[in-house]
Structure formats: C-alpha cells, structure tokens
Amino acid sequence: AEKYTLEDFTMGELTFSIIKPDAVANNKIGDILKMISDSGLKIKATKMIHMSKTQAEGFYAVHKERPFFGELVEFMISGPCVVSVLEGDNAIKRYRDLMGATNPADAVEGTIRKAFGAGIEANACHGSDGPDTAKVEVSYFFSNLELVN
C-alpha cells in the first residue's frame, strides 16, 4: 500500500494548537476556534483529549530541565484540552501572533491570551514555535489520515 506523508496533504504551512485545560474549563473552546477561523487560518483537524501524565511529559520534554516543568505537566493533565492542526501561509508565526505573549499580562489587545489567559501558566493556548516543532507536535497527536484535505 502507498504510504502518505504530511506533505502529500498540505497546501500551506501547518502548525499545532492546544486550547489548554483552563480555557476548556472556562467554556472558551468556541470563542478561541472562532478567533482562529476569523484570522484566516484553516482548521485541518481538531479533537478533544485528556492527556495522561506520560503524554504531557513527552509533549513538553523540551522543557524538562525548567523549574516549572512539574507544575506545567500537572496543569496540562488537570482537564481536557482541544488539540488542532491549523494551516495557512506562514501559519506558525500567524498563530503565535494571534496567541500573544506567554504571560497574558504582556499580551496585546486582540490576542487569545489577552482575552482568556489567567497567568503565566494558565495562558489558554499553545502554538508551535517553528517548523521542526510543528511537525513533531502535529504527529504527536494526529495521524496523517486525520488531516482533512
């Protein structure tokens, strides 16, 4: 059988998004997906998950030496998340801009974190920070066949 790669399904750039447990608990899934859609990014795939500790530790492995790693993992498994794959020209940077600064106190008006973030940890959303991480993160949660053409 033919093996498909991500590139076979992809027109623009892909990025990976998480609506974090705080925003899900605060009933902001719809508001955040609307902000994403209104920005012109296309939602290629989306689903609700509740990460295990092992999954969250694996996802944030790049941060394992940082002092807040344990707290971050506990936060990310504290409730369900919505994970999505977004597509568009320059999608990685556009979604980072739409999210706003890591600390919502520093995020500008019109960003997701300004609107819905509570603090440096419970900051409503995650977005890939570059092409290599985007690729790893998309495939951490989605198979190629889950990405709509």
Residue 63 is a catalytic residue: no
Question: Which among ligand GDP, Mg ion, none contacts residue 102 (Cβ within 5 to 8 A by kind)?
Answer: ligand GDP
Helices within the chain (DSSP H only): 21-25, 29-38, 53-59, 69-76, 91-99, 112-116, 131-141
The residue from 28, 44, 94, 126 that is catalytic is: 126
146 sits near ligand GDP (criterion: CB under 6 A): no
- Whole-angstrom CA distances from 35 to 19, 27, 71, 95 are 12, 14, 28, 10
Among residues 97 and 121, whose Cβ is nearest to ligand GDP?
Answer: 121
- Contacts of Mg ion in 93-132 (CB under 5 A): 129
113 in a known ligand binding site: yes
Cβ atoms within 10 Å, residue 42: 15
96 in a known ligand binding site: yes
Closest residue by Cα to residue 123 from 138, 108, 101, 141: 101
Bridge partners (DSSP) listed for residue 84: 17, 46
97 sits near ligand GDP (criterion: CB under 6 A): no
Among residues 23 and 85, whose Cβ is nearest to ligand GDP?
Answer: 23
Q: What is the DSSP letter of 50?
A: -
By CB under 6 A, name the binding residues for ligand GDP: 63, 68, 71-72, 102, 120-121, 123, 126, 129
> What residue numbers does the annotated binding site for ATP cover?
20, 68, 96, 102, 113, 123
By CB under 5 A, name the binding residues for Mg ion: 129
